[in-house]
Structure 1
Amino acid sequence: MELPLHSMGNLFAQLGLPSDEAAIDGFIAAHAPLSDGMPLASAPFWSPAQARFLREEILEDADWAEVIDQLNVRLHS
């Protein structure tokens, strides 16, 4: 089994957000749960650049897709 290429901390840093565990947990607590029908990249708290990055990485099934999926699950829980 391959390990993920990117961690949640790496994703938050890539998005220009604080990337330590406490900051990530705080972000998720502040923004979850997203409604069932809302795609992650459409959430209102992303900047246009952040939303574009999330959308493109998922569509391309890029290296970031796995950790973006994890964030999606956490924000919809």
Structure 2
Amino acid sequence: MDTSAHNLKNLFAQLGLDNSEASMEAFFAQHSLPSDMLLAEAPFWNEGQKHFIEESLREDADWSEVIDELDARLR
């Protein structure tokens, strides 16, 4: 059972990304998505990250709200 707080910092860790404030801000500065691209289709995800995003959104999992926040930050 996942009992971690569901926030951007922990989502970055869940995705295997550096979740320091500086690294998260650098990620947002370096990556953006066109309005017509689904978050999971972004070319910068690996297969595991893509699968986690797709599955979390499909199942409306606890992470889905934070994934939506990530999506908004990349637009």
**TM-score, scaled to structure 1:** 0.88
Partner of 1:31: 31
> Percent identity of the aligned residues?
52
Pairing of 1:61-72 with structure 2 (within 5 A):
61-72=60-71
Tell me the number of residue pairs that the alignment of Structure 1 and Structure 2 aligns: 71
Partner of 1:11: 11
Cα distance in 1 for partners of 2:37, 2:58 equals 16
Distance in 1 (alpha carbons) for counterparts of 2:53 and 2:37: 14
Structure 1: which 4+ aligned runs deviate by more than 4 Å? none
Secondary structure of the 2:30 match is helix
Structure 1 match to 2:20: 20
1:48 deviates by 0.6
Which TM-score applies when normalising by structure 2?
A: 0.91
* RMSD of aligned alpha carbons: 0.8
User: Which sections of structure 2, spanning at least 5 residues, go unmatched?
Assistant: none
